[in-house]
Amino acid sequence: MTGAAAHTVRNELPLVRHFRSIVLWPLQLVPQSGGHVDYWDILEKTAAPNTWRPVPYGRAGPDMLAGERHYSEFVSFLPYVQQFLFGGASEQRGAAYDASPLRAYRRNDVRSARLTFYDDPTPIDFRVARVELCFFFDVDLAILALEIYADDLPMSRVQETLFRFGRVFPAFWTADGRAGQCLERVEWIGENGSALGSSDFEKKGRYISFVAEHRAPAIASHWESLLEPMVSHHSGRAGDLRYRQIEYYRMPWTAYLSLDDPTALGRPTFARIALGASSGDPNTLPFSSRSLENFERDFCFDRYWAPGERPSATNTRYLCSGHGFAMVGTASDAFFTDGNSGLLGQFRHQYFRLALLSHFHRAALLVLSDRLVVALNHLDIRSVESVKAFKRTIRRTMETFLRFTHRYWFHEVSTQDQGRALFRMWSKHLGTEQLFSEVREEVHDMNQYLDSDSLRRQAGTVVRLTVVTALGLIGTIATGLLGMNIFDYGDMPPFVKLLIFLLVLVPSITVVFLTIARSKGLSDFLEGLSDERLGFRAKLGLFTRAWFRTRR
């Protein structure tokens, strides 16, 4: 074989016999009231008929195969994660203890996603297997999950789909008006081929003017239509269920690729898949060789990967970069392609749950951190109402963080080797452990501030009470003379006794309130009075300033 012919063979990538991808979009929900909000109730009340419907997670249907799949999914997690994802049996009987904090809704009217690439005017229809919206109790957060799939795709199309599909808005536009790193067009296709929504990446003016007006990015129209009745918080549209962008404009994703021989893929192709890079020369790395020097150690789980051997069940490779996760295996292996109890079924359920948990942890911590920042931005120490509102917000955030720590925060989610290893890899790449420590320190600092402020106020109250008590001794001794027999008021008429009582009461009240008003200066005077180093004139000056100081 000549060198030119060999070069041609190395550049021919195999077809992806079955491609499946799930994009995850974390969204921060904006409450319209100060108290607790059940966002799923708002969705049920405002959604159009036959769109969003609740999903009873973990409930097997009448089909025994579906029951087996749910069983496998359930037992792959540890008990506390099972309760978080699926709830308990007593939840059906109305027991709150076993209730799952996860609420999921699906819409079944979207049948396919029609994607048009810039280099080919012929669109590709990807079937839509899932449009799911997940809410989490006591966290202002929702995660949209969209699953698409297709068969017999060129590897370049798979790479471009992973790179371009999950874009919330364009990052830039090229000189000829194309939206950078985005698809030319995305359409949601419903029953009978009707279009339910389409992208508007080409409307450059809309995105630029929106940022200039709202200091927030505009959401592409096809994603807005998919989320209805939810509305973008900055869009100006009316709606009780509002959301805003919380992370990077590129959605995290998971991918499943089955090939005739996955071992034929080279290192550059695996790097492009793991990192979600665009298509390119299969002989060239997508990034510098130095940055990918430890690619296999950092991004690959190769327990079942045996390159050089014949295609078999062992030739399955897991790739995880945090932002993306991919499972690559052999199309001829029945276990890898089994959608019920095989790896395809695990990808759609167990590994989807791992991705959901990993990105939920990061997004929830970002939401809590954002609450603290917003509370600080609204704090005005010169306003009593602002200080009170700040304290209420911080206390609610502290309570939410406490519940998050004990209800949602997991270091281990599974006893299975690959599940445990991949969850750790996900958490490491997403930096959730470090983010958790940072948010915990922020909450701790806020708590210390509230405690120190409370102690300061208590100390000020004690000082005032001490001053009033010390100066009140004088009045107590003086008025105590009335109880002695120096003045005999026993035979006086009642109205005279009442008049004498009022003559003593009114000055006493005046002295007490005036003392409280001047308590800070009087406390300085009492402290100076006890200081033997100060002379009489200095002490007299302190007394004079305590009663006759002026406010600047």
Q: What is the pLDDT of residues 512-548, one digit of tens each?
A: 777 767 666 766 666 666 666 777 777 677 777 766 7
- Please give the residue range of the domain that contains residue 213: 23-56+100-251
Tally the C-alpha atoms within 13 A of residue 399's C-alpha that lie toward its C-beta: 9
Helix (H) or strand (E) holding 202: none
In a domain, 52, yes or no: yes
In a domain, 159, yes or no: yes
The three-class DSSP label of residue 267 is: helix
User: Which residue from 194, 17, 174 is spatially nearest to 111, judged by alpha carbons?
Assistant: 194
Mean pLDDT score, 449-461 = 70
What pTM was estimated for this model as a whole?
0.81
Cβ contacts of 5 within 8 Å, gap of 6 or more:
none
In a domain, 14, yes or no: no
Number of domains into which the chain is organized: 1
295 contacts 319 by C-beta, under 8 angstroms:
no
Position 467 pLDDT exceeds 80: no
Q: How many CB atoms lie within 10 A of CB 234?
A: 19
Q: What is the pLDDT of residues 37-72, one digit of tens each?
A: 789 999 999 888 878 999 875 444 444 445 777 888
Give the pLDDT band of residue 468 (cuts 50, 70, 90). Answer: low
- The share of the chain scoring above pLDDT 90, in percent, equals 46
In a domain, 227, yes or no: yes
In a domain, 410, yes or no: no
Position 152 pLDDT exceeds 70: yes
Position 4 pLDDT exceeds 50: no
Q: Among 116-125, 152-161, 413-422, where is mean pLDDT lowest?
A: 413-422
Residues 38 and 6: their CA atoms lie apart, in Å, by: 61
Position 350 pLDDT exceeds 60: yes
Position 91 pLDDT exceeds 60: no
Position 367 pLDDT exceeds 80: yes
Position 88 pLDDT exceeds 80: no
Give the pLDDT band of residue 253 (cuts 50, 70, 90). Answer: very high
Mean of all residue pLDDT scores within the chain: 83
Q: DSSP assignment of 316-362, as one string?
A: -EEEE-SSEEEEEEETT-HHHH-SSSSHHHHHHTHHHHHHHHHHHHH
65 contacts 339 by C-beta, under 8 angstroms:
no
The predicted structure's pLDDT at residue 276: 94
The predicted structure's pLDDT at residue 307: 78
In a domain, 179, yes or no: yes
Q: What is the pLDDT of residues 324-342, one digit of tens each?
A: 999 999 999 899 999 888 9
Residues 84 and 404: their CA atoms lie apart, in Å, by: 12
Rg over alpha carbons for the chain, rounded to the nearest Å, is 34
131 contacts 226 by C-beta, under 8 angstroms:
yes
Residue 101: cis peptide before it, omega within 30 degrees of 0: no
Residues 131 and 142: their CA atoms lie apart, in Å, by: 13
Q: What is the pLDDT of residues 99-116, one digit of tens each?
A: 778 899 999 899 999 999
In a domain, 158, yes or no: yes
User: Which residue from 72, 197, 178, 64 is spatially nearest to 128, judged by alpha carbons?
Assistant: 197
In a domain, 507, yes or no: no
Residues 379 and 34: their CA atoms lie apart, in Å, by: 16
